[in-house]
């Protein structure tokens, strides 16, 4: 191997690849050329030099995390509404959003959320929010991959657009970002109780034509189930199935209230579930039957939901909850193993986006979306099982370095792509107006 032929070599790491074999290597090295992983092997055989070398002793090298359900711009409303179930909570949230959200503030909120995500090692996020062009601008500025697209509601939205414009807006977005390697194009109808069959069909048609994803909230609460069943005579998942909307391009957020027949239908259709354990707990929505989904072969990925429903967007916490909560709920200590939980935060999200050949694992030829996690901490010693350590002991504060497509975006715990003090000043400037929007001071 020619000395200096690589842009970056990371040496001496404990390597957790998340590849199909679950390969874990001690004292390993990864060489990067351009945007891609070019070589993987023992440190002793690594290139002697490169344009840059990172000595990664006492660190785990892992793939970038994939957050498959987020509302990043809702970070502007972090902690605004507490101790309410979903439906009355939404009414207060929407009141604040109507008063505060513009294309400019949506971009500001997305920057805040994406900064939080990158600092925690998330390199790809599916984001559902108003003004998706603002979301893309924020993502490109900070250097995170984003899956987003047209929003669908049957009533006028926070962007001032009515239902009659939704399909055209979504088609225009898809056309504008076709072929962009950092933007996964799709459509995001809010839910079966806020979007009727015609709107859902339009959203799916746009996603299908674009070769992208179709994502919606589904079966999150019992009240939602009651509303949909009363309106259509069938449950949320059965309704989606009857409309032909369960498919390999479909990502359903939550799926808390689903039965065995619905789980089987999701598995057979290749539908992905984005599990959001923290918001389901905080909003008292219930416990998604994730072990049953995994047993049935459903592709289950992880999401954080928005900071307004969980107060942060911490995928490490979601991963730990996924690997612990279901043990208690089922009474089975083997429910959701550490390897399954880590896969939910990496490869499952990549699969849902049709991007398993590009992201989600550390393999030669894939994009160099990489995260270094410190293990020289008192809460991290000793290290026996690196995968279990990542799920049960590590956290976002342990992330030291993050690369997206080989480009450093976090270095020594510092975000390189944003002026964080200026970002926070802009966010704080909205606080008084946000409080006033819901009658508080």
Q: Is the pLDDT of residue 341 over 60?
A: yes
Based on the fold, state whether residues 55 and 122 are members of the same structural domain.
no
- Is 362 within the bounds of a domain? no
Q: Which two tokens stand for residue 40?
A: 């993987």
Residue span of the structural domain in which 13 resides: 8-62+368-413
CATH assignment of the domain containing 316: 3.20.20.140
CA 414 – CA 417 distance, rounded (Å) = 9
Contact 399, 370 (CB under 8 A): no
Based on the fold, state whether residues 241 and 328 are members of the same structural domain.
yes
CA 10 – CA 31 distance, rounded (Å) = 6
The owner of tokens 């690589």 is 6
- Is 3 within the bounds of a domain? no
Based on the fold, state whether residues 325 and 379 are members of the same structural domain.
no
Based on the fold, state whether residues 282 and 396 are members of the same structural domain.
no
- Is 434 within the bounds of a domain? no
Q: Is the pLDDT of residue 1 over 60?
A: no
CATH assignment of the domain containing 40: 2.30.40.10
- Is 437 within the bounds of a domain? no
Q: Is the pLDDT of residue 49 over 60?
A: yes
Based on the fold, state whether residues 87 and 225 are members of the same structural domain.
yes
Based on the fold, state whether residues 271 and 196 are members of the same structural domain.
yes
- Is 439 within the bounds of a domain? no
List pLDDT tens digits, range 406-431.
Answer: 999 999 999 999 999 999 999 999 99
Q: What is the pLDDT of residue 4?
A: 58
Number of domains in the chain: 2
Based on the fold, state whether residues 32 and 125 are members of the same structural domain.
no
Helices (H), 86-219: 86-100, 103-119, 132-142, 166-176, 197-210
- Is 360 within the bounds of a domain? no
CA 259 – CA 262 distance, rounded (Å) = 5
What are the beta bridge partners of residue 402? Answer: 371, 410
Based on the fold, state whether residues 27 and 147 are members of the same structural domain.
no
- Is 425 within the bounds of a domain? no
Based on the fold, state whether residues 323 and 334 are members of the same structural domain.
yes
- Is 101 within the bounds of a domain? yes
Q: Which two tokens stand for residue 282?
A: 């905080």
Based on the fold, state whether residues 298 and 398 are members of the same structural domain.
no
Contact 390, 373 (CB under 8 A): yes
pTM (global) more than 0.95: yes
Helices (H), 233-306: 236-242, 260-269, 277-282, 290-296
Q: Is the pLDDT of residue 105 over 70?
A: yes
List pLDDT tens digits, range 299-320.
Answer: 999 999 999 999 999 999 999 9
- Let me know if 33 is exposed, middle or buried by CB neighbors in 10 A (0-12, 13-18, 19+): middle
Q: Given its phi and psi angles, is residue 288 left (phi above 0), alpha (psi -120 to 50 degrees) or beta?
A: beta
List pLDDT tens digits, range 178-221.
Answer: 999 999 999 999 999 999 999 999 999 999 999 999 999 999 99
Based on the fold, state whether residues 77 and 38 are members of the same structural domain.
no
What proportion of the chain, given as a percentage, has pLDDT over 90? 94
List pLDDT tens digits, range 106-119.
Answer: 999 999 999 999 99
Q: Is the pLDDT of residue 2 over 70?
A: no
Based on the fold, state whether residues 280 and 327 are members of the same structural domain.
yes
């Amino acid at each position: 191997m020619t000395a200096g032929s690589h842009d970056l070599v990371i040496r001496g790491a404990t390597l957790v690849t998340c590849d199909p074999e679950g390969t874990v290597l001690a004292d390993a090295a990864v060489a990067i050329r351009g945007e891609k992983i070019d070589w993987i092997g023992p440190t002793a055989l690594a290139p002697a030099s490169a344009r840059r070398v990172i000595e990664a002793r006492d660190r785990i090298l892992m793939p970038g995390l994939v957050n498959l359900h987020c509302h990043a711009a809702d970070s502007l409303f972090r902690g605004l509404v507490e101790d309410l179930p979903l439906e009355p909570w939404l009414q207060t949230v929407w009141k604040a959003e109507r008063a505060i959200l513009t294309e400019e503030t949506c971009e500001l909120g997305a920057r805040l959320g994406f900064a939080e995500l990158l600092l925690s090692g998330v390199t790809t996020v599916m984001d559902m929010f108003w003004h998706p062009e603002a979301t893309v601008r924020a993502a490109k500025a900070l250097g995170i991959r984003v899956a987003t697209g047209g929003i669908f509601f049957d009533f006028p939205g926070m962007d001032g657009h009515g239902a009659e414009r939704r399909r055209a807006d979504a088609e225009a977005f898809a056309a504008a970002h076709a072929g962009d390697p950092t933007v996964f194009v799709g459509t995001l109808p809010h839910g079966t109780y806020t979007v009727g069959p015609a709107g859902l069909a339009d959203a799916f048609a746009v996603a299908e034509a674009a070769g992208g994803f179709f994502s919606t909230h589904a079966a999150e609460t019992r009240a939602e189930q009651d509303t949909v069943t009363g309106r259509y005579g069938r449950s949320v998942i059965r309704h989606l199935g009857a409309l032909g909307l369960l498919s390999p391009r479909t990502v359903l957020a939550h799926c808390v209230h689903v039965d065995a027949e619905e789980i089987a239908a999701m598995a057979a259709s290749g539908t992905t579930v984005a599990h959001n354990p923290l918001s389901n707990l905080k909003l008292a929505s219930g416990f998604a039957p994730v072990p049953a989904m995994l047993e049935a072969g459903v592709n289950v990925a992880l999401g954080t939901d928005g900071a307004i429903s969980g107060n942060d967007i911490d995928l490490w916490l979601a991963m730990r909850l996924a690997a612990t909560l279901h043990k208690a709920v089922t009474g089975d200590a083997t429910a959701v193993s550490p390897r399954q939980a880590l896969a939910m935060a990496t490869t499952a999200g990549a699969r849902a986006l049709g991007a398993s050949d590009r992201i989600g694992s550390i393999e030669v030829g894939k994009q160099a979306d990489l995260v270094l996690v410190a293990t020289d901490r008192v809460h991290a010693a000793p290290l026996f099982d690196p995968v279990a350590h990542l799920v049960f002991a590590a956290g976002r504060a342990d992330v030291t370095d993050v690369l997206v497509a080989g480009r450093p975006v976090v270095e020594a715990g510092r975000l390189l792509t944003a002026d964080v003090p200026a970002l926070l000043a802009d966010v704080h400037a909205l606080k008084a107006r946000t409080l006033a929007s819901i009658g508080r001071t």
